[in-house]
Amino acid sequence: MEYIDRYRDPESIERLVAQIRAISRKQAKLMEVCGTHTVTIGRNGIREILPRHISLISGPGCPVCVTPVEAIDRAVALAQKQDVTIATFGDLIRVPGSETTLLRQRGEGADIRIVYSAYDALHLAQEDGGRQVVFLGIGFETTAPTVAAVIRRAKETGVRNFAVLSMHKVLPPALMALVESPQLGIDGFICPGHVTTIIGIEPYETIADDFHVPCVVAGFEPLDVLEAVGLLVRQIEMGEARVEIQYRRGVSPDGNPKARAVMEEVFEPCDSVWRGFGLLPKSGLRISDSYADFDATRKYEIAPVNPREPEGCICGDILRGLRQPPDCPLFQTTCRPDSPVGACMVSSEGTCAAYYKYYRR
Amino acid sequence: MADRAMPHVKTGRVTLDHGGGGRASRELVHRYFLPRFLNKILEKMDDSAVVDFPGRRLAMTTDSYVVDPIFFPGGDIGALAVNGTVNDLSAQGASPLFLSAAFILEEGFEIRDLEIVLGSMASAAREAGVSIVTGDTKVVPKGKGDKIYINTTGIGLIEEGIYVSGTGARPGDAVILTGSIGDHGIAVLSRREGLNFDTDLKSDSAPLNGLVREILSTTDGIHTMRDPTRGGVAATLNEIATQSGVGIRIDEAAIPVKDGVRSACEILGLDPLYVANEGKLLVILDSRDASGVLEKIRLNRYGRDGRIIGEVVADHPGRVVMRTRAGGTRIIDMPLGEQLPRIC
Amino acid sequence: MCLGIPMQIRRIDGNVAEAALSGTTRPVYLDILGEEVRVGDYVIVHAGFAIHKIDEREAGETLDLFREAGILDLDSGTDHGVH
């Protein structure tokens, strides 16, 4: 733990905050794109130790939050099939679909297992050839290559009772949708460290160069996030807009080409619906034809779903950074972690859940 | 309201969240059990019921143990079934005397494993100085249960002048935690199917009646004691804040967490404050007595890492707030249900 | 969005390594890791996969920066800029 603790040292934190205070003059609205940053900020109380004129808002970087109701409905439809075992990351199990959640389906008798890695799902299939295992593939470019690698392994080893329901998304189209939005009032992006580990920094260059918004790729410890805030503030004060990497121990500028290669071999881009953004062209990943046998949407008949989006929920504006959770009429009243209406309340790192947990007064 | 807005109680079926010790568990009990069984003793919702007999006060508690897996580093379901009930009595200020033990065994359960579990129960009872005086055994068909479930009920005696209760915390009180948190929960998770990790941790399962006796002999300023089991320190402090109508402030830097717990929590995306313990106590007491009691606690083998972790305040009643290491503050909320490993 | 934890490689067996963080160990898959790793190296682990070999030199420099004062001076040249 000493390895991690070095990035949590209270004295260094204090020093860094003092430096930020010393150089910061202008109002700065910074968006942390990634939900894991949201958690770091909340857990450590980072908003409160920063000067008041620096505000941190949470963006579209929680895969659970941006997964639309219809995707959950399809997962539920699969879970209801007789001999299908669903394997999923724990994150997804409480996300509300139109009518129900996977957790409730488990109560109804569906076989739903929580796994930590897509490999654990493949092993489930290999251990019991009589079960059809469907893994729910969710996540951005950090997670998609891990699932791609497992699908490739399944094909190589001739496993026939394993498939993936791909709900994967890629981040750059959502970022572009954000910066192209005329209402956007964001002065800098805290870019997601581990997505960048895979995709490299190239996608952010347009944002900095063409839209003149500074971008800093940040790690996930308190000192990482604070240093990224400091670097953004420095750019803002100097009127610059560049891409910087704060998280140099975890990111190479050109990313991880090997991971991208397997992702591109197994998946292909497709148009995809994001909760809060609607349909974004080429923002999703579907399983390519050469791996069609492992595509749950082609392997199983999934009855057409009729998604019912929750009424009154402003998740869409929250994910765009236009409004904050307290602006939502449902927040804390009908929408709470134990009775989520929108997906921003579902994941522990969703903007609304984080607000509810850490900042509710 | 749309059905989906209440996914936990209106489902018509029990979900695992109802057993997690958090909000969903509380809602289940308050909605379905309490209205039907309510009486003056039950409504206190303390760890043990306190019953007035002419001249004596008895404490009584019951708990069922369904842990999966039944064997884990540092203990098994048998030790847990004795220690858990002993600790619920102890936290009420009672000296545990008698236990009942009821078993539901699944057809096909190995006698060899049964013997190990019973052996642990016997030695746990010996260490705690309690007698198991009555019991019951039922066998259910294969698949209708999971190996072995144990229910224990305990009775203890409360000495004259001792009044501890979840409603007793007052502004100005100190909060003591008797040792490091999360050991039990992580030790159990490490043996659970599908997670695939190893740990050098052991469960902290232990009888705390000796420690409690020493605490109570030091002062009469003990207001509340609780053992933070399911839902961890976060759930227990929230319960106390709600029951006593006070705010609680704790300090992250003061809370002992072993590296093994922290590292497993980092990897699985969990928060140690929400992870279960089976051998720790939270003690809320008059702040004037805090250092003396802490000294006594630290002399006990189950209290060596004891610390003062916070204070009771008049602000934000019902709410638990933590000062973080980084110098900020955060709200420690009641957990929702079962803690699930996450990747995001 | 993507929990990634630094873990140290203890043993390597084909595409699987045993990796540790303090007292916690688990199998970690190397399928998508570009760099060669050896026992003792640190990797970032996400969902059971090593996704990056941690650059120890960069890690050291970041820590040095945290210890120093004045890393955010407005007129100091940036050593973080990538272009």
> In chain C, what residues touch A207 (CB-CB under 8 Å)?
none
Residue type, C78: T
> In chain B, what residues touch A126 (CB-CB under 8 Å)?
none
pLDDT value at position B8? 43
Question: How buried is residue A359: exposed, middle or buried, by Cβ count under 10 Å (0-12/13-18/19+)?
Answer: middle
Secondary structure class of B96 (helix, strand, coil) = strand
Provide the chain A residues 181-220 that lie in CB contact (below 8 A) with chain C: 192-195, 197-198, 201, 216, 220
Helix axes A10-23, A222-237, angle to 10 degrees: 10
pLDDT value at position C83? 37
pLDDT value at position A348? 67
Question: Using CA atoms, how far apart are residues C28 and C46, in angstroms rounded to an integer?
Answer: 9
Residue type, A237: E
Phi, psi of B133 (to 5 degrees): -105, -10
Phi, psi of B25 (to 5 degrees): -60, -45
pLDDT value at position C73? 65
Average pLDDT, chain A: 91
Q: Taking CA atoms, what residue in A is nearest to C5?
A: A4
Q: Taking CA atoms, what residue in B is nearest to A225?
A: B326
pLDDT tens figures, B44-91? 888 888 888 888 899 999 999 999 899 999 999 999 999 999 999 999
Question: Using CA atoms, how far apart are residues A339 and A166, in angstroms rounded to an integer?
Answer: 26
Subunit partners of chain A (3 or more CB pairs within 8 A):
B, C
Which of C8, C11, C22, C24 is the best substitution to test chain B (most B C-beta atoms within 10 A)? Answer: C24
pLDDT value at position B31? 87
C66 vs A12, A242, A243: nearest CB: A12
DSSP string of B98-130, one letter each residue? EEEEEEEEETT--HHHHHHHHHHHHHHHHHHT-
Verify whether the Cβ–Cβ distance B267 to C45 is below 8 Å. yes
pLDDT value at position B235? 96
Six-digit token string for A99 = 């009518």
pLDDT value at position C82? 43
Question: Using CA atoms, how far apart are residues A73 and A69, in angstroms rounded to an integer?
Answer: 6
Question: Using CA atoms, how far apart are residues B135 and B132, in angstroms rounded to an integer?
Answer: 8
Distance set, CA C69 to CA A14, A247, C58, C76 (Å): 11, 19, 18, 12
Distance from CA of B282 to the nearest CA of C (A): 26
Q: What percent of chain B has pLDDT over 70?
A: 97
Nearest to C47 by CA among A347, A142, A164: A142
Six-digit token string for B194 = 């599908």
Which residue has tokens 């306190």? B50
Q: Taking CA atoms, what residue in C is nearest to A20?
A: C72
Nearest to A51 by CA among A317, A217, A236: A236
Nearest to B76 by CA among B134, B127, B115: B115
Question: Using CA atoms, how far apart are residues C45 and C33, in angstroms rounded to an integer?
Answer: 10
Question: Using CA atoms, how far apart are residues B18 and B29, in angstroms rounded to an integer?
Answer: 9
Task: Write out the E strands in A77-174.
Answer: 84-88, 111-114, 132-137, 162-166
Question: Using CA atoms, how far apart are residues A218 and A228, in angstroms rounded to an integer?
Answer: 6
Q: Are B152 and B84 in contact (CB under 8 A)?
A: yes
Q: Are A219 and A40 in contact (CB under 8 A)?
A: no
Verify whether the Cβ–Cβ distance C22 to B263 is below 8 Å. yes
Question: Using CA atoms, how far apart are residues A259 and A264, in angstroms rounded to an integer?
Answer: 9
Q: Are A177 and A280 in contact (CB under 8 A)?
A: yes
pLDDT value at position B82? 97
Secondary structure class of A330 (helix, strand, coil) = coil
pLDDT value at position A20? 95
Provide the chain A residues 295-334 that lie in CB contact (below 8 A) with chain C: none
Say if A143 is an interface residue toward chain B (CB within 8 Å): yes
Distance from CA of B260 to the nearest CA of A (A): 8
Cβ contacts of residue A327 below 8 Å, gap of 6+?
A314, A317
Six-digit token string for A113 = 């297992």
Q: Are A268 and A284 in contact (CB under 8 A)?
A: no
Give the helix, strand, coil percentages of chain A, each rounded to 5. 45, 20, 35
* Residue C2 confidence class, pLDDT cut points 50, 70, 90: confident
Question: Using CA atoms, how far apart are residues B307 and B320, in angstroms rounded to an integer?
Answer: 18
Verify whether the Cβ–Cβ distance A201 to C80 is below 8 Å. no
pLDDT value at position C70? 55
Q: Give the strand order in the sheet containing B148-158.
A: B49-53, B56-65, B148-158, B94-106, B131-140
Question: Using CA atoms, how far apart are residues B250 and B312, in angstroms rounded to an integer?
Answer: 9
Residue type, A327: D
Distance from CA of C26 to the nearest CA of A (A): 11
B197 vs C1, C24, C46: nearest CB: C24
Residue type, B130: V
**pLDDT less than 70: residues of chain B:** 1-11, 344
Per the rule left: phi > 0, alpha: psi between -120 and 50, beta: everything else, A57 is beta
Question: Using CA atoms, how far apart are residues A359 and A42, in angstroms rounded to an integer?
Answer: 8
A49 vs B7, B326, B343: nearest CB: B326
B327 vs A14, A94, A116: nearest CB: A14
Verify whether the Cβ–Cβ distance A101 to B195 is below 8 Å. no
pLDDT tens figures, A80-134? 998 899 999 988 888 888 888 899 999 899 999 999 999 999 999 999 888 999 9
Distance set, CA A133 to CA A106, A136, A156, A166, B4 (Å): 15, 10, 17, 14, 27
> In chain B, what residues touch C48 (CB-CB under 8 Å)?
196
Question: Using CA atoms, how far apart are residues B189 and A155, in angstroms rounded to an integer?
Answer: 31
Question: Using CA atoms, how far apart are residues B160 and B177, in angstroms rounded to an integer?
Answer: 25
Residue type, A18: A
Secondary structure class of A295 (helix, strand, coil) = strand
Question: Using CA atoms, how far apart are residues B25 and B39, in angstroms rounded to an integer?
Answer: 20
Q: Taking CA atoms, what residue in B is nearest to A143?
A: B343
Q: Taking CA atoms, what residue in B is nearest to C47?
A: B343
Nearest to A291 by CA among A89, A156, A90: A156
Distance from CA of B201 to the nearest CA of C (A): 7
Verify whether the Cβ–Cβ distance B343 to A143 is below 8 Å. yes
Decide the pairing of beta strands A28-34 and A188-192.
Answer: parallel
Q: Find residue A111's DSSP bridge partners.
A: A85
pLDDT tens figures, C35-83? 999 999 999 999 999 999 998 888 888 888 777 755 666 654 444 444 3
pLDDT value at position C69? 56
> In chain C, what residues touch A248 (CB-CB under 8 Å)?
55, 58, 61-62, 80
Verify whether the Cβ–Cβ distance C25 to B198 is below 8 Å. yes
Verify whether the Cβ–Cβ distance A49 to B2 is below 8 Å. no
Question: Using CA atoms, how far apart are residues C22 and A10, in angstroms rounded to an integer?
Answer: 21
Question: Using CA atoms, how far apart are residues A241 and B166, in angstroms rounded to an integer?
Answer: 56
Cβ contacts of residue A224 below 8 Å, gap of 6+?
A7, A40, A193, A218, A246, A247
Question: Using CA atoms, how far apart are residues B284 and B311, in angstroms rounded to an integer?
Answer: 8
Per the rule left: phi > 0, alpha: psi between -120 and 50, beta: everything else, A91 is alpha
Q: Are B187 and B201 in contact (CB under 8 A)?
A: yes
pLDDT value at position A3? 80
pLDDT value at position C74? 61
Overall pTM > 0.85: yes
Min mean pLDDT across A131-145, A312-326, B228-242 is at A312-326
Please report which residue ranges of B7-76 form alpha helices under DSSP H. 23-28, 34-37
Which of C10, C22, C28, C49 is the best substitution to test chain B (most B C-beta atoms within 10 A)? Answer: C22
Residue A182 has pLDDT above 50, yes or no: yes
Question: Using CA atoms, how far apart are residues C44 and C6, in angstroms rounded to an integer?
Answer: 4
pLDDT value at position A324? 85
> In chain C, what residues touch B259 (CB-CB under 8 Å)?
22-23
Subunit partners of chain B (3 or more CB pairs within 8 A):
A, C
Q: Taking CA atoms, what residue in B is nearest to C26?
A: B197
